[in-house]
Amino acid sequence: MRVLVTGGAGFIGSNLVHVLVGQHEVGVIDDLSTGHAENLHPSAWGRTMDILDERFPAAVAEFGPDAVVHLAAQSSVPRSITDPVRDWAVNVDGTRTVAAAAAAAGATRVLSASSAAVYGEPAEVPLGECSDTAPVNPYGSSKLAAEKALADELAGTGVDFASFRFSNVYGPRQDAAGEGGVVAIFCAELAAGRTPVIYGSGEQTRDFIYVGDVVAAIIASLEFTGTLSEAEPCGPAYNISTGEEVSVTDLANALRPVAGFYAPFEIARERAGDVLRSSLDSRKARAVFGWQPRVTLEAGLGPTYRWFARL
């Protein structure tokens, strides 16, 4: 199988590419705005290019993918608030462009990264794919619109597709200064000998999923022989998550023995656009293409911290 990964020099993308190489023919398109050249696999075909570049469709056609995994995105909630126009352009217009280019190049499946942010502030958790979507920040709104853009662009083309609503992904190669979530930020601060900051009460919860589990979900869905876009409930939407709520305070406490840090964390006022609770039910992915998360938070924090500390 020929698999093209947009954003293949980024956090999730590079972890995916390094597993795919050797199993499939792999191509990467990344503009290196948030990805890193050192993440690129030497055996993967590659082009340095923005997905909004007018040359992008020709580059996709040049590689000729059987499947496209679309991970390139504007993934910072704070940046989506300060520059919502760019956020929309990359996440919505970019997704539409990727879908159209994939179909024109003869791909038969497109997997696109969405986010738990599409749900907004839930009344109860864990959330299923059919739960109400009410984003509370521009990033969540753009990711929800990107799901519709993907479906609209590929309707009637015969190209199968899915939008993967990732919960809070963490692991090696994450960039604490870019798309990094709280795990990456805490690890980077601790590895540098600085005291991490908890914004808000620390009781806000997230559903932390290790990047290796996310990679396994993508590969399982690439190899699935059925139709992803028509599976019930709620068609092409799939939660990729653990279904477990972990508070930021509990995360901090879990990191203490890993990093050998036992002093108090700093506390600061909560940030605009942050939801209080988040947890996603991923049973649909297990039922449709046989994936389930396997790495516990305790098991995943070790290799993540060691990567940041370069131990």
CATH topology for the 2-169+209-240 domain: Rossmann fold (3.40.50)
Same fold for the pair 2-169+209-240 and 171-206+243-282+295-309: no
**Distant-in-sequence, close-in-space partners of 15: CB < 8 Å, separation ≥ 6:** 171, 172, 173, 211, 212, 214, 215
Q: Is 305 a catalytic residue?
A: no
Catalytic residue among 119, 139, 170, 305: 139
Tell which CATH classification among 3.10.180.10, 3.20.10.10, 3.90.25.10, 3.30.1360.120 matches the domain 171-206+243-282+295-309: 3.90.25.10
Per-residue pLDDT of the chain (311 residues; tens, 9 = 90+): 999 999 999 999 999 999 999 899 999 999 999 999 999 999 999 999 999 999 999 999 999 999 999 999 999 888 999 999 999 999 999 999 999 999 999 999 999 999 999 999 988 899 999 999 999 999 999 999 999 999 999 999 999 999 999 999 999 999 887 656 899 999 999 999 999 999 999 999 999 999 999 999 999 999 999 999 999 999 999 999 999 999 999 999 999 999 999 999 999 999 877 889 999 999 999 999 999 999 999 999 999 999 999 86
Which residue blocks in the chain are alpha helix, DSSP H?
11-20, 56-63, 77-82, 84-88, 94-104, 138-154, 182-191, 211-223, 248-259, 283-289, 297-309
CA 109/CA 159 separation, integer angstroms: 5
Q: Are 70 and 112 in contact (CB under 8 A)?
A: yes
| pTM score above 0.85 | yes
Q: Are 161 and 229 in contact (CB under 8 A)?
A: yes
**Distant-in-sequence, close-in-space partners of 140: CB < 8 Å, separation ≥ 6:** 77, 115, 117, 118, 119, 120
Give residue 14's region: left, alpha or beta (phi > 0; psi -120 to 50). alpha
Q: Sketch the domain layout of the chain as residue ranges.
A: 2-169+209-240, 171-206+243-282+295-309
